[in-house]
Structure 1
Amino acid sequence: MKLLRQQIEKDQSGFVRVVPEEPEDMWHVYNLIQKGDQLQASTVRGVKSESNTGSVTTDRVRLKLTISIEDVFFDVQAGALRINGRNIAENKHVGIGQYHTLDLEMNQPFTLSKREWDLISLQRIKDACDITKQADVAAVTMQEGLAVVCLLTQYMTVVRQRIEVAIPRKRRGSTANYEKGLQRFYEQVYRAIKQHVDFSVVKVVILGSPGFVRDQFFDYMMSQAVKTEDKTIIENKPKFLLVHTSSGHKGALEEVMRDPQIKSRLADTKATQEVKAMDDFYQMLNSNPDRAFYGFEDVRKAADNSAIGTLMVTDELFRAADIQTRRKYINLIEDSKASNANVLIFSSLHVSGEQLQQLAGVAAILNFPLIIDSDSEYSSSDESSKKEPENVDFDF
């Protein structure tokens, strides 16, 4: 995303004018926009006009509108963002108070105004406009007849294509139909990788499966690349990383990203910092639970005691329409930073963010143990008394 202009006043009111350049930029905009904000953008609207003879015609006119935002719809797969609200600026084609829906498009500038730009929103603008933050990891999880092609960024895990092919069972004395079905399946996965993976950006392509499906597909892909002289696949062969997964579904990515071999290979990518933090949290919860807190109330008490080493919060909490809810999490982050805590904002569209959602969206690794008793008082201690959360599996 390109920042064209930014003007923030001392009272934190102001505006930014930006141009979204990538599909992921729409995700950032979705997280920035709140009900009551003002959005100015170019749009097309049907305008009726009546001639001297009384005939009525409708023309499509491009105009600039400023609306007060009431509703936001974001289609993750299409990267489409639609914002509905009332017009608040004079316009000869649209009256004050009339409703209009603005469709934000890539490479089209818009201006977003807020009564208050908090630190979370300002940091998101800064991150979104950093050209180094791009999708640098691709992953394909597969099992016979099923494959899911994903792109992983620091903020999102987006399914680009789901492939399902019926593969006949092997028959005694004949495997011809089975082999043909498997070839059709491999061919579709191969095409999907070529279509969705930009090897000029992607540093690692993870191929994961149970059994030997990934190895058999990799052999097929490389033989096809040599046969068709596909230089893109041949030259990027070292980027493919074959790993074991329990299934071919998207959920298998969680176990993949926690594998030490994977974390080592992805050390210089943007997708690993949050995954490592969650892994460290689970390990701490198992070994020293008085240094692993989750849920707002407990984490808030840890912050009050300047005990937080790493704070993890999902961005879902900052899309709350309730200003007070949003403010309490911003205060938690500000207080944690004041005591030199490392603060990580997780994307709810990333596998690690989905995991954090199971812990009410907020968790912390403490610098030293705290015990919270039944009267909600806390004290420093080396003893462990914190219970594990229900319905969450912390086994490795």
Structure 2
Amino acid sequence: MGSYHTLDLKLHSNFTLTKQEWDSIALERLDEACDPNKRAEIGAVVLQEGLANVCLITEYMTILRQRIEIQIPRKRKDNASDYQKGINKFCETVMQAILRSFDFTNLKVVLVASPGFISETLIKYIFDEAVKTDNKTLLQSRSKFLRLHCSSGHMHSLDEVLKSPNISTKLADTKFVQETTALDRFYKILHNDEEKAWYGIKEVSWAIECKAVETLLISDMLFRSNNINERQYYVKLVETVKQYGGKVLIFSSLHESGIQLNQLTGIAAILTFPINMVKNNE
């Protein structure tokens, strides 16, 4: 879970993936891996004149959906028309890549970042075309587009975009921010009312048995245990919480919040009501 092996396959070739037993967590992850749009909550375009990288960002990785390179004539007084044609062709190509690559139903935000004003030009072009063609998908998603500055249109510039304080509000309800928020909330409750914030497998299991868990915080590290009985046990805990209406957040060990949760045994819970662990020990 969360780890991988590399296998070279020819494009569009069919293959069969077999396993002795498929649990609900593994099937859910496999389904999401087959279609990145199901997991991605952030779309991003980093660009400069003539170069654009169209990406999807999931909780585990950044997926480059398309790299676009188009030669644009230099802007001079005697070739303004050729320059504008080049810019329009570039914007049209990027827009089509966005439409092919992004599922706006799932995306919470689309980051468009560049040096200079080409990001502004692209966004204006996209929505001018959306009005002309009555593209309701784009028009209804206008509020999701966020223009930002970055140093270049190359992929490495995406890191500086994601660290920008200007996007914190827009990203507030994405999964990896939800995880960070939930962990912060857990620590606050642990400090103020420790009987409603538990961690450790024995303690959390008892809270689940009591149907007291509001939010289960569990690391994907636990689903990678070499002991199949342990893995099945953690899957059962997740399924039980979901069955009685609790919320489950599976933290990635690749993110800072997941690393912090691993330091707390990899499993924690925020409770709907306080329970006493002493009774379970008696």
TM-score (norm 2): 0.57
Structure 1 residues 108, 351: CA separation in 2 closer, same or farther (over 3 Å shift)? farther
Instruction: Tell me which structure has the larger Cα radius of gyration.
Output: 1
- Structure-2 residue corresponding to 1:334: 239
- Structure-2 residue corresponding to 1:203: 110
The structure 2 residue matched to 1:118, chosen from 23, 27, 36, is 23
Matched, 1:133 2:39: yes
Q: Deviations over 1:295-351 (max 9, x none)?
A: 111101111111101111111211222111101111211222232211122222233
Aligned to 1:344, what secondary structure does the other structure show? Answer: strand
Aligned to 1:266, what secondary structure does the other structure show? Answer: coil
In structure 2, distance between residues paired with 1:110 and 1:351: 35
The structure 1 residue matched to 2:258, chosen from 353, 356, 362, is 353
In structure 2, distance between residues paired with 1:318 and 1:338: 19
Matched, 1:156 2:63: no
Matched, 1:306 2:211: yes
Contact 1:137 1:271 in 2 (8 A): no
Q: Specify which structure has the higher proportion of helix.
A: 2
Aligned to 1:110, what secondary structure does the other structure show? Answer: coil
Q: Deviations over 1:64-100 (max 9, x none)?
A: xxxxxxxxx84xxxxxx33xxxxxxxxxxxxxxxxxx
Give the fraction of aligned pairs with identical amino acids, expressed as a percent: 37
In structure 2, distance between residues paired with 1:375 and 1:268: 36
Structure 1 residues 332, 107: CA separation in 2 closer, same or farther (over 3 Å shift)? same
Structure 1 residues 368, 103: CA separation in 2 closer, same or farther (over 3 Å shift)? same
Q: Specify which structure has the higher proportion of strand.
A: 1
Structure 1 residues 155, 300: CA separation in 2 closer, same or farther (over 3 Å shift)? same
Q: Deviations over 1:153-189 (max 9, x none)?
A: 442266x9xxxxxxxxxxxxxxxxxxxxxxxxxxxxx
| Structure 2 residues not aligned, in runs of 5+ | 45-54, 65-94, 103-108, 124-144, 151-160
The structure 1 residue matched to 2:220, chosen from 315, 335, 349, is 315
Counterpart of 1:203, as a letter, is V
Q: Deviations over 1:128-153 (max 9, x none)?
A: 34534226167xxxxxxxxxxxx994
1:289 Cα deviation (Å)?
1.6
- Structure-2 residue corresponding to 1:23: none
Structure 1 residues 288, 124: CA separation in 2 closer, same or farther (over 3 Å shift)? same
**Count of residue correspondences:** 205
Contact 2:42 2:111 in 1 (8 A): yes
TM-score (norm 1): 0.42
Q: Deviations over 1:232-256 (max 9, x none)?
A: 47646943389xxxxxxxxxx99x7
- Structure-2 residue corresponding to 1:184: none
Contact 1:153 1:270 in 2 (8 A): no
1:271 Cα deviation (Å)?
3.4
Alignment of 1:80-95 (within 5 A): 81-82=5-6
Aligned to 1:264, what secondary structure does the other structure show? Answer: coil
Structure 1 residues 335, 134: CA separation in 2 closer, same or farther (over 3 Å shift)? closer
The structure 2 residue matched to 1:239, chosen from 139, 144, 147, is 147
Matched, 1:286 2:191: yes
In structure 2, distance between residues paired with 1:267 and 1:126: 25
- Structure-1 residue corresponding to 2:75: none
In structure 2, distance between residues paired with 1:107 and 1:350: 32
In structure 2, distance between residues paired with 1:269 and 1:358: 23
Runs of 4+ residues deviating >4 angstroms = 104-108, 198-202, 233-238
Counterpart of 1:297, as a letter, is K
In structure 1, distance between residues paired with 2:173 and 2:12: 29
Counterpart of 2:42, as a letter, is D
Aligned to 1:310, what secondary structure does the other structure show? Answer: strand
The structure 1 residue matched to 2:176, chosen from 271, 277, 283, is 271
Aligned to 2:39, what secondary structure does the other structure show? Answer: coil
Counterpart of 1:134, as a letter, is A
Alignment of 1:1-396 (within 5 A): 31=1, 74=4, 81-82=5-6, 102-103=7-8, 108-130=13-35, 131-134=37-40, 136=42, 153-156=57-60, 200=98, 203-204=110-111, 222=115, 225-226=116-117, 231-232=118-119, 235=122, 238-240=146-148, 263-267=168-172, 269-373=174-278, 376-377=281-282
Counterpart of 2:40, as a letter, is Q
Contact 2:32 2:38 in 1 (8 A): no
Structure 1 residues 360, 239: CA separation in 2 closer, same or farther (over 3 Å shift)? farther
Alpha carbon RMSD of aligned pairs, Å? 4.2
1:263 Cα deviation (Å)?
4.9
1:280 Cα deviation (Å)?
2.1
